[in-house]
Amino acid sequence: MTHLNTSVVQADRDRDLWQVHAGPGVDLPRLLDGLPRGSLPEALRDGAERHPDLPALTVACETLTFGELAGATAKVAGWLRGRIDSPGRRLLIAAPTSTRQVLAYLGALQAQMTVVPVDAGIGREELETILMDAEPTVTFTEGPAAEILASIDHRPELALSIDEALLAPPLAAAPPVAPMMLAYTSGSTGRPKGVLLSHGNVLSSIRAAMAAWRWSPDDVLVHCLPLSHQHGLSGVHAAILAGSHTVVLPAFDPDKLGAAIEAERATVLFGVPAIYARLDAWEGASETDFSSLRLAVSGSAPLSPELAASVEGRLGISLLERYGSTEAGLDLSAVYDGERPPGCVGLPLPGVEAKVVGTDGEDLSHGTEGELVVRGPQVFGGYWRRPEEDAAAFLGDGWFRTGDLAEFDGAEWRITGRLKELIITGGLNVHPVEVERVLERHDGLARVAVAGVPSERWGEEVVAFVIPAASTAPAESELLQYCRARLAAFKCPKRVIVVSELPVNSLGKVQRRKLGKLAVADGGAAQSTRESDGSAT
Ligand code: AMP
């Protein structure tokens, strides 16, 4: 009974918060009802009928109008449908950003296939694992992934060629009958897991964000995120759903990004903290006209308050932070018209319920840190062929355990760390991000990452990995002292290891699991560096 009451209060509170996002004039029940409707190919068909000559997508400098995009998508779908026996067969895509890549994606969806998007720079071992797990019927590869695929014996026979497919008879768009995507995420355990997403999951995620961010057909989105990840793909989805224009650059290059924002009079920018950090350090920023931007979104990794403040000074726009994951889509976002307090990620997006639970799944009160769990139409139904993972990932009643630590103070959500990356040293908890934020403020350091490393004495010890700002690194003793002046003693790193680069994924997100291994492997070497050179680590 108590549980039921809690749920009722929770639901009422979430509806109030959704209305805050949507704005006072919006019919919330209607908005919520429409979130998971239809498919992307149907929306593209409708857009092509209404405004065939408007630009839909500019990808790697090539622009396709809604009419052109819908026409080419239908032909790719026709080619695929002529070769697959039933809906739900999988097409694996591993290619650099291009219009061909987008056509493979949309064509497969229109052919009622399930897309398996993987990173263009995927390694052989990972590709082999995913091929065995996903069992795709067709592949679309270009660049290095195409070479790797060619050397793998157990690969699908059928390879999609867009040039050939564009000669095929078109296939009309129809309501979805198969899952939209099988998106692989390595999680923190390293073994790729397939996240099965329905059309409803993916569309409700972006539709809720578009409503909250006041997306209009006049918006022009620019981004340089990979189209193998939900973050980058969501920009393509937004263009098709809103009838707006999305410009995707194949890679981050500040000159090109700045030029694209100016030339297209971009109104929206999507980025991750690593991109904003490089834009912030870019000399050309002061000569670039960012005044067309009304919205600059940051997500996929923690945004430090210092970076947010610095970027606001450079770009003249306050970053809007949002939080999400492959499994649960977009969940939390700063309120478009609201305050953006540093370190906060706002409120649950329309349709998303969020709460904090303890280790046994019990609800925690406001202001208490615990695991963030979310529920709603955005949340996936389960992992691909991994019932044991599903059991661990869901609390019951559709609540997905995000694996992230969070806190809700009654007004704002904060993401405080990643459960599996929490360092437990001498029995005390240390959030890597908290230590990183301190070291990031040291002038002598360009980049910092902190991870827990197994230690006989402490269980785990806090280790900092730093890239110096100049050729000579600050002395380890100085960095440790710097930390001691700002952090509790148990949170201070036990070691500082100088590295020339940090292991990051295609979104520039530091992979702390790899860092931990690096420290174990290089522990002796790092120690001896320190001993031979008493000052610089
Ligand atoms: P992915 O599945 O690759 O999209 O990664 C999802 C994970 O990225 C989440 O579980 C978080 O750990 C992290 N993440 C995403 N957005 C944020 C954010 N705004 N702040 C902190 N961490 C984030």
Hey, whose CA ends up nearest to atom 1 of ligand 1? 325
345 lines ligand 1 (CB under 6 A): yes
CA distance 188 to 420: 7
Quote the pLDDT of residue 533: 33
405 lines ligand 1 (CB under 6 A): no
Query: What mean pLDDT do residues 435-451 have?
Result: 93
141 within 8 A of 118, measured Cβ to Cβ: no
Mean pLDDT value of segment 327-355? 96
Across the chain, what does the average pLDDT equal? Answer: 92
Q: Give the pLDDT band (50/70/90) at residue 46.
A: very high
pLDDT at 187: 54
Which 3 state secondary structure label does DSSP give 250?
coil
What is the spatial distance between Cα 504 and Cα 266, in angstroms, rounded to a whole number? Answer: 28
- pLDDT value, residue 511: 86
Ranking 2-11, 140-149, 317-326 by mean pLDDT, the lowest is 2-11
Mean pLDDT for 62-89 is: 97
Pocket of ligand 1 contains residue 300 by CB under 6 Å: yes
Give 338's pLDDT tier (boundaries 50, 70, 90): very high
User: Measuring from atom 7 of ligand 1, which residue has the nearest CA?
Assistant: 325
Beta strands in 112-192 (DSSP E): 114-117, 138-141, 158-159, 181-185
- CB 371 less than 6 A from any atom of ligand 1: no
- Return all residues near 181 (Cβ < 8 A) that are at least 6 apart: 114, 115, 116, 117, 195, 196, 197, 202
Answer yes or no: is the C-beta of 136 below 6 A from any ligand 1 atom: no
Ligand 1 centroid to 432 CA: how many Å?
A: 14
Section 209-213 average pLDDT: 98
Mean pLDDT, range 471-492, rounded to an integer:
93
Cβ atoms 276, 298 nearer than 8 A:
yes
Judge whether residue 435 has pLDDT over 50. yes
Cβ atoms < 10 Å from Cβ of 252: 17
Walk me through the domains of the chain, giving residue ranges and CATH numbers.
Answer: 1-34+349-419 (2.30.38.10), 39-54+63-202 (3.40.50.12780), 422-528 (3.30.300.30)
Q: What is the pLDDT of residues 267-316, one digit of tens each?
A: 999 999 989 999 999 999 999 999 999 999 999 999 999 899 999 999 99
User: Which of 239-243, 389-393, 453-457 has maximum average pLDDT?
Assistant: 239-243
Beta-strand ranges (E) seen in 422-494 are 423-425, 428-430, 445-455, 459-468
Q: According to the model, what pLDDT value does residue 535 have?
A: 30
Q: pLDDT, tens digit, for every residue of 262-276?
A: 999 999 999 999 899
Instruction: Show the CA angle centred on residue 336, arms to residues 320 and 207, nearest 5°.
Output: 95
Q: How far is the CA of 507 from the centre of ligand 1 (A)?
A: 11
Quick: pLDDT tens for 363-386: 999 999 999 999 999 999 999 999
Q: Does 329 contact ligand 1 (Cβ within 6 A)?
A: no
Confidence of residue 509 (pLDDT cuts 50, 70, 90): confident
Which residue owns the Cα nearest ligand 1 atom 23? 301
Q: CA dist 432 to 245, 367, 441, Å?
A: 38, 20, 15
Q: Please report the atom of ligand 1 found closest to the CA of residue 433.
A: 21
Which pLDDT band holds residue 522 (cuts at 50, 70, 90)? low
Residue 300 CB partners (closer than 8 Å, separation 6+): 229, 231, 272, 273, 324, 507, 509
Per-residue confidence band for 205, with pLDDT thresholds at 50, 70 and 90: very high
Whether 323 is in the pocket of ligand 1, judged by its Cβ within 6 Å, is yes
Distance between Cα 5 and ligand 1 center (Å): 31
Q: Return the beta strands (E) in 318-412 as ranges.
A: 320-325, 329-333, 347-348, 353-357, 370-375, 382-383, 394-396, 399-408
Q: CA 304 to CA 203: how far, in whole Å?
A: 29
The CB of 402 under 6 Å from ligand 1? The reply is: yes
276 within ligand 1 shell (Cβ under 6 A): no
Cβ of residue 56 lying under 6 Å from some atom of ligand 1: no
Cα–Cα distance for residue pair 494/461, rounded to 1 Å: 6
**Residue 401, pLDDT above cutoff 90:** yes
Partnered with residue 418 across adjacent β-strands are 404
pLDDT at 6 over 80: no
Amino acid letter, 186: S
Percent of all residues in the chain with a pLDDT value above 70, rounded to a whole number: 94
Average pLDDT over residues 105-122: 97
With bands split at pLDDT 50, 70 and 90, how would you rate the model's confidence at 11?
confident
Ligand 1: atom nearest CA of 326 is 2
Residue pair 108/80 in contact (Cβ under 8 Å)? The answer is yes
Q: Picking from 166-170, 397-401, 458-462, 513-517, which range would have the lowest pLDDT averaged per residue?
A: 513-517
Name residue 137's amino acid.
T
Ligand 1 centroid to residue 509 C-alpha, Å: 9
